[in-house]
């Protein structure tokens, strides 16, 4: 039997999805999950880091701008640099862009409104460590809750993201069509989630951790946690086969 994957969920002052992420990766996914206070200097022996949603430091200055100076972020950058799996959700995505771990920036929603509802996102790339158990083009139903989720990057950066298959999720309608109407915040090319070039860091505005428990209605988010876990199992099998 495979050892449990160790998830570490960073807790900043103002994080509010930390316990949901902890519950989804721990109790629901059946793995080991721990909360890591932002003042810690070391992640310890975790396999996966979750930078959760919320309003770290009250979103002062810019969303995520202050959180990236928290002591733990140095170790997150180190961990990510050596290929460690990192997932930033909502405010976590904003923090990862501010820390320079992912390209681009999340601007104020085009509508200026805080948007809190379930949306459909299309899985664009299934060969990542976060989407391995999804079908190509699979439409996932997951909630969003943000005021600054309007993904923007320079045209050159967008072109590279598209060419490299780094756009992992795109807002779409329930039939998987990517339309202007299905874009909740004005993101370039309906981008809802991206990975870095190396493929070990994912940032996404939708909340998979809020769509993981059947009791709460939606379960599509679970696929992301399952994919991460599966990616460790398959790499362990590959290792064993060598």
Partner 1 sequence: MYHSKITIILRKSILDPQGKAVELGIHSLGYTGVANVRIGKCVEMDIDANQRDEAEKISREISDKLLANPIMEDFSISLEEHKGL
**Residues identified as active-site:** 90, 207, 209
**Nearer Cβ to partner 1 (52/147):** 147
* Complex with partner 1: residue 113 or 214, whichever CB lies closer: 113
**Contacting partner 1 (CB under 8 A), which of 4, 34, 62, 230?**
62
Please pick, from the candidates 65, 77, 139, 145, the single residue that binds partner 1 as defined by CB under 8 A.
65
Q: List the x/- string, 162-201, binding to partner 1 by CB under 8 A.
A: ------------------------x---------------
DSSP result, 124-173: ---SSTTTTTSPTT-EEEEEEEES--EEE--HHHHHHHHHTT-EEEEEE-
Cα-Cα-Cα-Cα dihedral sign, residues 97, 102, 103, 106: negative
Give the total residue count for the chain. Answer: 242
Q: Is 153 in the site for partner 1 (CB under 8 A)?
A: yes
Nearest to 47 by CA among 238, 225, 237, 242: 225
Residues binding partner 1: what is the number (CB under 8 A)? 17
H helices of 152-210, in order, are 155-163
Q: How far is the CB of 62 from partner 1 (least distance, A)?
A: 6
Residues 82-111 that bind partner 1 (CB under 8 A): 98, 104-105, 107-111
Q: Is 112 in the site for partner 1 (CB under 8 A)?
A: yes
Are the CB atoms for 62 and 21 separated by under 8 Å?
no
CA distance 194 to 89: 11
Per-residue DSSP letter, 202: E
Cβ 24 to partner 1, closest distance in Å? Answer: 30
Chain residues that interact with partner 1, rule: CB under 8 A: 61-62, 65, 69, 98, 104-105, 107-112, 152-154, 186
């Amino acid at each position: 039997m495979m050892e449990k994957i160790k998830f570490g969920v960073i807790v900043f002052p103002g994080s509010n999805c930390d316990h949901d992420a902890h519950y989804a990766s721990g109790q629901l996914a059946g793995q080991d999950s721990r909360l890591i206070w932002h003042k810690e200097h070391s992640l310890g022996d975790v396999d996966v880091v979750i930078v959760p949603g919320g309003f770290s430091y009250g979103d002062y200055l810019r969303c995520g701008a202050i959180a990236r100076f928290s002591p733990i972020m140095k170790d997150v950058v180190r961990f990510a640099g050596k290929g460690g799996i990192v997932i930033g959700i909502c405010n976590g995505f904003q923090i990862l862009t501010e820390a320079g771990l992912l390209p681009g920036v999340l601007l104020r929603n085009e509508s200026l409104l805080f948007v809190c509802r379930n949306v459909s996102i299309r899985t664009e790339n299934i060969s990542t460590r976060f989407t391995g158990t999804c079908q190509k083009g699979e439409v996932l139903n997951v909630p969003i809750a943000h005021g600054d989720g309007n993904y923007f990057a320079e045209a050159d950066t967008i072109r590279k993201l598209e060419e490299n298959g780094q756009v992992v999720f795109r807002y779409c309608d329930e039939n998987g069509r990517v339309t202007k109407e299905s874009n909740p915040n004005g993101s370039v090319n309906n981008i809802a989630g991206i990975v870095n070039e190396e493929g070990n860091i994912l940032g996404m505005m939708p909340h998979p951790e809020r769509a993981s428990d059947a009791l709460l209605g939606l379960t599509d988010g679970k696929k992301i946690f399952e994919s991460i876990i599966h990616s460790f199992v398959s790499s362990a099998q590959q290792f064993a086969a060598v």
